[in-house]
Structure 1
Amino acid sequence: MASGQATLREKREGRMGRSVSDEEIGLIRAMLARDMKNRDIQFYFNRQDRPVNSGRITGIRQDGYGAGIPAASDEALDAFLAKFKAGPIQGPGGPVAPPTDDGRIAALFSSKKDNEWRLTSGETDEIECKREVDVKKLAPVVRAIAGMANNKGGVILLGVEDKSGRVVGLTSDDFAKLDLVKLTSAVKAHLQPTPSFRKGVIEVGGLQVGYVCVEPLVDKPVIVHRPGDRLDDGAILFRYPAESAPIKFGDLRTLLDARDARRLRALVDVTRKIADIGVENSAVLNVADGSLEVAGRPMQIDQALVDQINFIKEGQFDEVAGAPTLKLLGEITAAGGEKVPGGRRLITDDDVLRNFLDQESVLVPFEYIRFAVAGTNRDWVPIFYFGNQAKLSRAEMAGLLEGVATTKIKAKAKMIDRALGKQSALANHTGTPAKLLAAILAGDREEPADAKAAGNIALALQGIPAEGAPSKEEMLALLKVCVTTLVEAGQVAAMSSVYRAAGRLDEVYFAPA
């Protein structure tokens, strides 16, 4: 009977013998259960003498190919992945290096008559074309990045007509000169969490074509958290064939179900490991706040391992883009009893400003107050908002600042005076900022039309009076729009005005009486 069933299954698959073995089908099923994409699975099973295309993997997913063959166990898949080694790609002349981003992008185009180059496939759910790009107004690119990160990832092509796919080229080298940090800042200003992407420029038919390669986010969705041009607050964008648009219910449901399933599998894996190790021998590390629970015992690390670990020390942090970082709070101890220096949570100027404007509760408000002296080079950052969260009076905040060890003696003294009310971020400007302040106090809260207007509004907000101040929510929202406008325009220098304005709003609305 089993032989007869196999024969029927083989006939249904269209051949007496499959090119993909039962073991490989089991491994592919296990990979699909982990939400691995078809193209990623192909990497492990494609050979020159036996390609495994995406359709074959879809057939396995739908149980049309290799029906009845169970998925491999998690242990078997882990073992397969651990020992897997990719062989070199072979060409006529021997091994060929994998294609670079530039090579993959160039392969998307083909030449037509009169040496006219076009995108071979046209726009898809993984390819978006834009005829031009304005580096001062990056919201359209940010929108496309959000849509692709929420789907399968993809590439945004700049200097290519969206309807015809014809290469027209970039009209200037502005995109080529655009610092990736500026593009990242524009994305972070609007999207949370921040997707991963790369940029570059290639030559196609003598014309410059820019591109942005977007990776699919693992823990979807990416959400718009600050409004902008066609970026609505709270929107979830999704890349559909030929357009990035607000996600449809069915796709959102699928996305959230996949996320829940992935988290459930992770929880099951952790539970299984705890059961194997024993609760009394297990430790729980909270990677969000750095706390480590070890059944009430201090954590110990063998000295041989300690010598190989690079701990992050304050003032010695070198950030490497894309590199994962474990931040340790407090102290850990080597097996011999010697204490090993740990590191503090890394806080940035952007963290302080964003948490203040968004009115977010922070895990360790004391660290944000300490940062105002030892962590930043700015003259003005909010402190009273975080002091409120820590339930500190002015005197207590001054005492906390007094205890901070730092070489910035003048900055420390200034911040202590500010905590005590002896210094203020209040600044009354003349000219346009003065007129804007009068309008704001009269109830006119018009948002800035450009970076220059945003800078002037930030200067105006530095003069907000303590008596008769406008609504806190309106002033914070207005300053947030100024931040977004300045970041998109790349006006980094003007951000000093924003930070002083934030300092003034902090004094007006959050300083203890």
Structure 2
Amino acid sequence: MLQYDQVWTDEFFRVIDADGVLHRRESNSIEFKAKFDWADKNFKSVVLKTAAAFANRAGGLILFGIEDAPHRVIGITNFDEVDDAEISGYFNEHLTPSIDFKRHVFSVNGIDIGAFQILESRTKPIICQKDSPKTHDSDIYYRYSGRSSKIKSGDLRQLLQTQKDLEKKLWMDLLAKVAHVGVQNTGLVNLATGHLDSGQNNFILDENILNQIKFLDSYSVQQNGAPAVRIIGDVDRTAQVVERNKHIFEEDIFSAFIENRVNGRAEDYFSSIFSMNSEIYPIYFLFELSGIEEDKRHDFLEEIGSRFKNKSKVVSRLALDKVERKAHHYAINNTEHGIERAKFLQALESGDDIVLNTENDCRFFMESLFSINAHQVDLEEVRRHLGTILNSYYPFSKDNLNFVFRWSLAFIDNLYFK
């Protein structure tokens, strides 16, 4: 589960420009809302739908105080006016089984942003059990990129099979542990109630104590008055320091390719791509930067734990990559669009100045990239122009331009690194 703390906040909101516009898109795990108006039935219903979709996928964050198109950070002042019990009661009234959520307030440049963190449900699917203005009884909602929609049949089958496999694994793991320690030495903890039954003794773990239990993720010495961990005696060789996963967003993948620099492990980037709705992202430069040889790439991806079906699509690209066949969609010909693409292609090949004054300019430039010859065009020059597009125009006002941008980066990645 992602930790929505100051580290996450700094990473997510670092791409705000001087006008307060946040250069991030809504995604599988992020939704933006300009206001927080719990008294409005339509507003509550939209939040309900998004919450159900997040819970059925991998969880997510609904951020209040960010406008739509462009995503300007405006903040909110009334986030604490509604009690958690009222919100939870509304969710429980309309959804079954119940969903879990947390509330956060992020301070961004002195502006307060409210957030609902919707936790991934351990018992899926979450089903609507009562109509609301934007949801209907018996519907199951799922998160697709920046939209919450009724689940597709294929995703529903996948969800049910995943739940079945998970329950089977939990039983097998439990029985294996019982067999290892012996039935007489086995106790049970009810995670819902905190009740611990050890056979001879019964305990109740207070919720406050449960909240204080943390995983040791590093060995440290005291610095600047911070808590310290001192290891006394021999440490088992199997003990490991757990490295915290980096928060990788779609824009971070784009920036990493354009700048040829990663801010984290290749595993973190691929885990993020696995959770997306599409497998079309630049991936081969990640292998290159990480020194992963071609014959080891398949095993490397397979060893990254992920329950998302997009993982298999990413792995399949190693054998047959449909990105390579995309060029004929954006031909250089005598049509109006073909002529515009040809102008940018010629400028790239000759090293002439390229000016991108509008989103249309960006579109034709990106489409021209599907026709370049790697031996005739400097990769760094291409990256420089793509960086201008990312910093000046992303996210685009039209979804189809976001699509072309993602595909053009994947195509260049294939061309130079595969």
Q: TM-score with structure 2 length normalisation?
A: 0.42
- Where relative contact order (Cα < 8 A, 6+ residues apart) is larger, the structure is 2
Task: Tell which structure's C-alpha radius of gyration is larger.
Answer: 1
Q: TM-score with structure 1 length normalisation?
A: 0.35
